[in-house]
A and B are shown apart, each in its own frame.
Chain A
Amino acid sequence: MVSEQLFWIISGCLLAAYLLSLTGIPVYLRRESLAGDALSHAIFPGVVLAVWISGENNSWLTYLFGVLVGSLALFLIQSIHQKTLIPKDGATGIVLILFFSVGLLFMGRLQRSGVPLWGVQHVLLGKAATLLPSDLIALAILSVVGSILFFYFQKWLWLEAFDSKFAKHSGLPKNTYGLFLNAWTALVLTATIQILGAVLSAAMLITPSALGHFLSHNPKKLILISVLSACTAAVLAGFISASVPAMSTGALTVILLFLLAFPFFLFHPKKGILMKWIARKKEAGRWKDENTLKQFYNPANVHLETGLNPSIKRLLKNRLIQPNNNGSWELSPKGVLEAERIVRKHRLWETFLHNRLLIPQDSVHENAELMEHLLDDDAEERLSVELNNPGADPHQSPIPPKK
């Protein structure tokens, strides 16, 4: 059912996705996602050099040069960032563009001298369809080695990424560890950009961890979500691209990941942007309603709403106000209780500010306008006890008793 070519493509993408998502976790945790992106572009001149020297496109020289050039790039980013006032993102951008441009210069020369650039072009966008068995073997070896390293050093990973100073004090060889991580990431990227291309490799490095972190702050779950989502996307993309000709499997994998992650970012029940927005609107509505109730409560207030606005509609719905004989609204018994509750909080707070914090009585009202919505019943209770159940606020307005 599954053709042999399809099998190769799916395996290649799956391994690449697995390797990248795993390697991407420490990169993500150390806040170096963009350095990963820069790395994927910076390896380019190394690969060009390797092709130039060796004449073939997938030799061990490619890996060696990839690691060397990549590590150099990461080292330069650190140097620029630490030794000049250029911040981290600026340093990252500088190294990215510089290395990539040098790569383009080399490539231009190569084109002129007629050296076949078959392998080099792939660096930019990759071509899963022309996967060689040697590529697959390389990926497989890296995946196994990477898994073992990750498994055994997971303590190191989390420790160094979270609190590198403490890690250093605890004896973790920070510099060696950092150098090794950089070299490893460069190695992995060198392998995968030949299949997926630079941008898509960077995508698989970053997105899975971002999704994993969004969904969980439990380290084990984060790893699981990241790796599983990446692999699932890769396999699915492989099958889909089989039915659609000339579809880039790598690009499809990234799109599937995007389609998985983005809805979560928007619609997650608690952390999703939409939910947070709804919660904010609800809260704003509550404040508005409480203020409306207060308006009706105060008998001196002659500017009463006679029309229908959203707040009035909500209050009507909750039976806190009812129509009166004059064509406008009045508080229902339930509404009176509610309004008194808010007024009580308002005036208790004013009393607290004035009596305890010695704030002049002209200045307490504005703050109380905010606090009346924020104090919960427990706080209200304690305030009252603390102030010895006062009968009136600093403006001599009566404080409604607790019912």
Chain B
Amino acid sequence: MIEVKNLNAGYGKRSALWNIDFSIPLPAFIGIIGPNGGGKSTLLKSILGEITPFTGSIQVFGKPIGEVRERLAYVPQINSVDWNFPIRVMDVVLMGRFRPHSWGPFYSKSDREKAEFYLNAVGMFEFSKRQVGELSGGQRQRVFLARALAREADLLLLDEPLAGVDAGSGERILAVLSNYQKQGRSILMVHHDLLTASTLFDHLILLQTRLVAAGPIKDVFTLNNLQTAYGTDVSILSEMIHKLGQTPAKISDHP
């Protein structure tokens, strides 16, 4: 269960999230959608504990986030790393197996096997010995995804994993995520594409600085909600939703 109560968060004095309240049962495949600047990344970072909210509380798996750190894994949108750093692909993925209390100098054999497994899952195994700077953007994203997967966390958080990624890599990433989720783990993902959002996730959080809606797809992905969030032309949205098999009449009945 992810439980967010009365969350207000932002940067400096600027608020990016207002009065966010929702709870979603886990395991689930949750998408965070909404217009740009709507606070999606902020929500992720608040859950991770990367930013301290002004007010409010967040509980994951029934505990405050500080206590469940090891059960979370994160793939940020942009990696602020130096691409000339002397590190190879396999070393990066192995980092996912790091535990602060393991003081041995090397990673264990099972760590290596797991790292290889997840690297293979994202289709980057033959790049094991390459230096990370030699990879394309999409390839790098896959490697960082493998690293997060290697943590075998119960909740995986991703910030627009498909942004700027080539179609091949993107498909691969989605397939891997789907598999991961099927193993009974949860994914919380900021996503930018409305069209695929409805088919990918089972739950949605629709944000526009305030919470527009949160819950199962059929409750959130309604014309009303989307209009509130995006404020766009109704007809385009209704056409889109119609295409997805929901009739306009049914939508506008929803509160």
Contact = CB atoms under 8 A, between A and B. Distances in A.
Contact of A159 (B76, B88, B98, B106): B98
Interface string B100-126: 100111110000000000000000000
Contacts of A378: none
A299 B221 CA distance: 65
B100 A151 contact: no
A282 interface: no
Interface in A156-182: 158-159, 161-163, 165-167, 169-173
B9 interface: no
Q: Which of B82, B86, B147 has the most CB of A within 10 A?
A: B86
A171 B69 CA distance: 8
A159 B99 CA distance: 11
B72 A169 contact: yes
B200 to A, nearest CB: 25
Contacts of A169: 48, 69, 72-74
Contacts of B82: 31, 162
A165 B80 contact: yes
Interface string B5-24: 00000000000000000000
Interface stretch (A3-11, A32-40, A106-114, A214-222): A214-222
Contacts of B50: 165
B69 A172 contact: no
B169 interface: no
B222 to A, nearest CB: 35
A94 interface: no
B167 interface: no
B152 interface: no
B100 A172 contact: yes
A159 B73 CA distance: 15
A170 B100 contact: yes
Interface in B68-92: 69-70, 72-74, 76, 79-82, 85-88, 91-92
Interface in B129-157: 129, 131, 147, 151
Contacts of A166: 74, 95, 147
A163 B79 contact: yes
B23 to A, nearest CB: 24
Interface residues of B, number: 31
A171 B131 CA distance: 25
A218 B131 CA distance: 8
Nearest to A171: B100
B98 A219 contact: no
B85 A29 contact: yes
Given A152-B105, A169-B48, A170-B100, A219 B86 contact: yes
B154 to A, nearest CB: 14
Nearest to B129: A218
Nearest to A221: B86
Nearest to A215: B86
Contact of B86 (A151, A163, A218): A218
Interface string B36-74: 000000000000101000000000000000000110111
A213 B133 CA distance: 14
Contact of B85 (A154, A162, A171): A162
B81 A162 contact: yes
A155 interface: yes
Contacts of A216: 86
Contact of B98 (A161, A170, A213, A217): A170
Given A155-B107, A159-B95, A217 B100 contact: no
B105 A217 contact: no
A216 B104 CA distance: 24
A216 B88 CA distance: 11
Nearest to A166: B95
A159 B94 CA distance: 10
Contacts of B80: 165
A172 B86 contact: no
A31 B80 CA distance: 14
Contacts of B74: 166, 169
Contact of B88 (A161, A165, A218): A218
Interface string A17-45: 00000000000010100000000000000
Contacts of B48: 169
Central interface residue in B50, B69, B98, B99, by most chain A CB within 10 Å: B98
Residue of B70, B100, B131 with highest tally of chain A CB at under 10 A = B100
Contacts of A218: 86, 88, 129
Contacts of A172: 98, 100
B86 A213 contact: yes
B104 A173 contact: no
Interface in A210-269: 213, 216-219, 222
Nearest to B130: A217
Contact of B104 (A152, A161, A217, A219): A152
A155 B95 CA distance: 8
B127 to A, nearest CB: 13
A172 B48 CA distance: 15
Contacts of A155: 98, 105-107
A299 to B, nearest CB: 42
Nearest to A148: B105
27 contacts: A29-B85, A151-B105, A152-B103, A152-B104, A153-B103, A153-B105, A154-B105, A155-B98, A155-B107, A158-B87, A158-B95, A162-B82, A162-B95, A163-B79, A166-B74, A166-B147, A170-B98, A170-B99, A170-B100, A170-B151, A171-B69, A216-B86, A218-B86, A218-B129, A219-B86, A219-B87, A219-B91
Closest 5 A/B residue pairs (Cβ): A171-B100, A217-B86, A217-B131, A170-B98, A213-B86
Given A158-B91, A169-B48, A171-B99, 10 more contacts: A153-B105, A162-B95, A165-B80, A166-B95, A167-B98, A169-B74, A170-B95, A216-B86, A217-B87, A219-B87
